[in-house]
Amino acid sequence: MVTRFSDLPVLSLSHLPTVTREQMKEVDELMVDRFGVQIVQMMENAGREFARLARAYLGAGFIGSRITVVAGSGSNGGGGLVAARRLVGWGADVTVVLAGPRAAYHGVAHHQLNTLRAMKQDVLEFEGELPDHDLLLDAVVGYGLHGPLAGIFTQLADAANEYPAPTLSLDVPTGIDVDTGQADGDAITASATMTLALPKTGMSQPDASARTGELFLADIGVPPSLYSLMGLPPANPFSEDSLVRLSREASSVL
């Protein structure tokens, strides 16, 4: 484990329930329909914790550091845009790169873009290369990915992997299937991944660490009782902190 995160609680991945793509979709639906917690609220929680992880990752060199946030047009991208806003406010030099034309950004992602626009934050569209950076935040595609990356997403994965700076991925590295932990084609290789609510099933696979890097789990506000509604084992991983490290070693305890 990286010493910069030594103050975070450590939980064993093997002691936590994991969720598939369809189960995570059900979590989101129950949050909205049963508990009245909207996607934009969960997105705000995810983005705040992602920004927190980025700040901790850079440590003493955070102020003035160059951070590139690559954001897709869905909820995962919206979380990345929240992180960008937070990091700007905390003193980083942030560049936002969109994984597609601005016109493709609707709903909650568009809402976050409007906030960044009001802050006078520069937002670029990806044109084949990424700007110079000390840290890359990957918030392109989350758990909803089906099949291999294509087109501009493949180019983004290649650009991210060619750059020597570390990459932090939100929920899952872009291009990785959350159910299998594998990539059907190109995928981003992350230095660390911050997954949301509960670990995804594919992350427990033995060779998943080669793509996800160090694993973290962030609280987006899901009540433990929601998991009972889904027939999942009870889980309350955030009793000590809203951000925890996940260990693949069975000796760590919940």
Output the pLDDT for position 5.
79
Q: What percent of the chain has pLDDT over 90?
A: 87
Is 161 within the bounds of a domain? yes
CA distance 57 to 192: 9
3-state SS track over 1-69: CCHHHCCCCEEEHHHCCCECHHHHHHHHHHHHHCCCCCHHHHHHHHHHHHHHHHHHHHHHHCCCCEEEE
Is 20 within the bounds of a domain? yes
Q: Whole-model pTM?
A: 0.95
Output the pLDDT for position 134.
97
Domain that residue 92 falls in? 3-245
Instruction: Write out pLDDT tens, residues 14-73.
Output: 999 999 999 999 999 999 999 999 999 999 999 999 999 999 999 999 999 999 999 999
Output the pLDDT for position 206.
82
* CATH code for position 200: 3.40.50.10260
Is 253 within the bounds of a domain? no
Q: Count up the domains in the chain and report the number.
A: 1
Output the pLDDT for position 252.
40
Instruction: Write out pLDDT tens, residues 96-109.
Output: 999 999 999 999 99
Q: What's the average model confidence in pLDDT over 130-156?
A: 93
Output the pLDDT for position 135.
98
Output the pLDDT for position 234.
84
Q: How far are the Cα atoms of 94, 170, 224, 225 from residue 91, in angstroms, in the given order?
A: 9, 21, 35, 38
Is 251 within the bounds of a domain? no
Q: What's the average model confidence in pLDDT over 203-232?
A: 94
Is 252 within the bounds of a domain? no
Is 215 within the bounds of a domain? yes
- pLDDT of 251 > 70? The answer is no
